[in-house]
Each structure stands twice: as C-alpha cells, then as structure tokens.
Chain A
Amino acid sequence: MKIKTLLTRPAITTEPATPLRDARALMHRRGIRHLPVIDHHRLVGMLAERDVERVDVSSIPEIARHDWPLALAGLVVADVMARDPLALHPETPVAEAARLARDRRVDAFAVVDCDEIAGVVTRSDLLAVLSGLLEHRHPTGLGHVLAATSLRPGSRRALGEALRIGATTGARVTALHVLPAAGRMPGFEGATGEDVVAVERVRRHVADEAMAALRRAGGGQAVRCEVAEGPLAREIAQRAEELEADLIVIGSAARRGVLGRLVATLGDRLARLAPCPVLAVPRIGARGASR
C-alpha cells in the first residue's frame, strides 16, 4: 500500500507572503491543521496550526500581559512555517510513512511528485488506514453487532445472541437500551415544574439500572453499553447507522397477546428503517437462548 492511495483531494496550499491570519482562516475553513507552503511551484515549508498557536498571544493572562498583539498583525506565513519539511514521494509505502512519522515526530508529510505538490498525509490519515485494516480483518463481514434491549426478559435473549455472534465472528457488540422519550412517559404527558424534575430523577435511575443490567448480562465479554431515549425503532435504526452496525439483534416476544404484536411492530418498523439486516430472536425453541 502506497501513500498515493491516501491522497483524496488536491492539496490546499499557501504562500510565504500570505498574512498569517489568512492562512489560519483557511485552515479553520477547511478543517485542516497543515498547509504546505509553495513558492513558485516549489515546496518551501509547512505551516502547522500548532506553530500558529505558539506564536499567538498566550491563553494565560499573566503571561499574555507581556505579549505584544500588535506585532502579530504583520506576521506572514514565512515567519512561522517550518522550513525544509519532510517531503515524501507518492510511491512511498504507508508502513514507511508510519515509521517516519513516529521516529521523527512528524505530524504531516508533504507528498511531492517531480517537484509538484501532490497532497498532504497526516497522522490522522495514517490512523484511518489502521482503522480500515482492522475492520477489514473480519472474515464474516460482521464488524459490529447492535443488540437492542429493554428490561423485559425477551430482550436479554437479544444480547445473549448478539454476544454469541460476537464471540464466533470477532464482531464487536454494542448493547443499546432505549427508554421512552420524556414527553411519552405514561401518565406524565402534561407534566411541568417539579413533576418534570421528579420524572427526570426516575428516568436517570432507570437509565443507570439499565446500564448495570446490560453490563451484568455482558459477563466478561467486551460489550459497549449505551442508553438512548426516544421512539424505539427510530433510535435503534439511527444508532445502527451511526455505529455502522452490520446487524441488529432484537428479542421477539411471545406470539400471543398485545406484547407480541408490539414487538412484531418493532421488527416491521426496523426492517423499513434499519441500514442493515435485523435478526429477531424467538423465545421458544431458541438454542440456549437465555443467559
């Protein structure tokens, strides 16, 4: 793997005579922390946000008292940039860039091809490569399983099943417990003032209990536990999307009765909203379903 594969956009650059505050505004606007400095098509320096912060007036008042902000207004990029930055060729292996970044304490490399700037590779880019490699290691394609639970016994099965899937495939497991949204708590639709405070206290308590229950159910296995609130199906689907989950596991309830119909509805809703497949774990006949 070569670093050229990490260059996803044309380099955003600056010039030696650019006022420092303009270069800084550019970094902020583009959400970047390094600007290669180009003079007549040649790379002459690298401007890092950190260097700019060191030049700036101190955040500590008794130190800043001795700083001279007026002098800063006239600074240009060339006054602050690091000269002769480390430049790498696009064909440099990513492993070599990673080693160089560590050994020489480099935050960002300029990538230069035939004296032309081709882009920037940062530590953050390198870490993203590692993240991608780690995720690609899952042979089943299951990187992340989301177990949606409530405090009802049926949903413990969902977590149990998710943990079993995690253990056999190497997938990560996140347990999500969804509480009803504040306004939807039965009997408290029109609550105000002190009522709301009391309800909040109860909700906090329920949330803490839920977390503790999830942790216990997870046993020794690595499982991340989260509590969310809002409409059940929407919260689960949204979290699955954010976590880039590959599978959602829910417990399906007994087939008879109102509860059974409710959970069937959850499955139906999720099937429409979810970004990935949904697995409903039945109670009867499930192999070793309860933990």
Chain B
Amino acid sequence: MRGEPIAMAPGESLGQASRLMARHRLGAVPVVRGSALVGLIAAADLDRAHPSTATTLTFGEIHGRLDRVRIDRVVPPAVTAVGRSTPLVDAIRLMRARRLAALPVAQGDRLVGLLTEDDLLEVLAAFLDEDPPPDHPRGGD
C-alpha cells in the first residue's frame, strides 16, 4: 500500500480526476470529505461519463464539460475499503470480485493508504523472482 494517498474532494471535477489519474498512473482515486473516506472514483466511471466518439462537441468543449461535472455525480454510493492488517489474499479477492483497480486502506473512516493493482503486480514479480515455486498450474478467471 502507499501511505499518504492521493485523494480528491467530492466537489472536484471529472476533468481534474482524469488529469490526476493520468499524472499518477492510477486506475482509481479515493474521495474524501475532510479526512474521512467517502468514495472511490475509478477510471471506468470516467469512461462511462466521457462523451461518445460520435459527439457534436469539439475537443475543447469536451474538456470544458468534464471540468464542469462534479465527481460525486459518478462516484458509486458505497465504498469498499480494507484495513492495514487485512490479509493480502482477502484484498486481492475483493479487488477481483468487485473489479476494483485499487482499494482504499482506512482506519475507522479515515483514509490512510491506497492499495493498487500495480502494487500487487510488483509484489507478484518480486515473489516469483526471489523464490521460484514448482510449476503448479493455477486457474484463470
């Protein structure tokens, strides 16, 4: 997990969310009110809000619109979070089952970190490098 996670306020815009995700290479950003975790905005939520390719809006207009829509209009109402001591296997199960690109880490309702798919891929690579296991096949989806 990464401490001091990047987070957004509910009143920030879709445009800001999109730029933040691109800048920090994140698939999802926690949404906080004060320091309390209230949601998670995912790249998929932005994709759904994005104008169609068949739009009459120009490039500039698209960005203008995205900058005027608050993220709380697309953030799902319920947020799934884990604790610092949640076993990694449980976190992975959650991420796969709910198709989440990242999981906020919370203490009570306070956001304390973010566990991303990229973090886990790094763990996997390190795991396999350090200790090559027997070639046991394991299932896909």
Contact = CB atoms under 8 A, between A and B. Distances in A.
A40 interface: no
Contacts of B56: 66-68
Interface in A38-57: 50, 53-57
A130 B120 CA distance: 8
B135 A122 contact: no
Interface in A117-165: 121-136, 143
Contacts of A129: 124, 138
Contacts of A31: 141
B80 to A, nearest CB: 14
A60 B55 contact: no
Interface stretch (A90-98, A195-203, A231-239, A249-257): A90-98
A239 to B, nearest CB: 14
B78 interface: no
Chain A binding surface, main DSSP class: helix
Determine the interface band of chain A, counting residues with CB < 8 A from chain B: 35 or more
A192 interface: no
A57 B52 CA distance: 5
Nearest to A71: B54
Given A50-B43, A95-B129, A131-B93, A67 B51 contact: yes
A129 B53 CA distance: 36
B44 A68 contact: no
Interface in B53-74: 53-57, 61, 65-66, 69, 73-74
A99 B141 contact: no
B47 A66 contact: no
Interface stretch (B4-12, B31-39, B81-89): B81-89
B124 to A, nearest CB: 4
Contacts of B87: 134, 172, 222
B121 A123 contact: yes
A269 interface: no
A93 to B, nearest CB: 7
Contacts of A66: 51, 55-57, 61
B121 A131 contact: no
A5 interface: yes
Contacts of B108: none
Given A56-B52, A121-B140, A124-B141, 18 more contacts: A2-B135, A5-B136, A6-B138, A53-B44, A54-B50, A57-B52, A60-B65, A60-B74, A63-B49, A63-B69, A64-B52, A68-B56, A72-B54, A128-B139, A131-B96, A134-B89, A136-B133, A222-B86
22 contacts: A6-B138, A6-B140, A31-B141, A54-B53, A62-B69, A63-B49, A63-B66, A64-B52, A66-B55, A66-B56, A71-B54, A72-B54, A95-B124, A95-B129, A98-B121, A98-B128, A102-B125, A124-B96, A127-B117, A127-B121, A133-B124, A222-B85
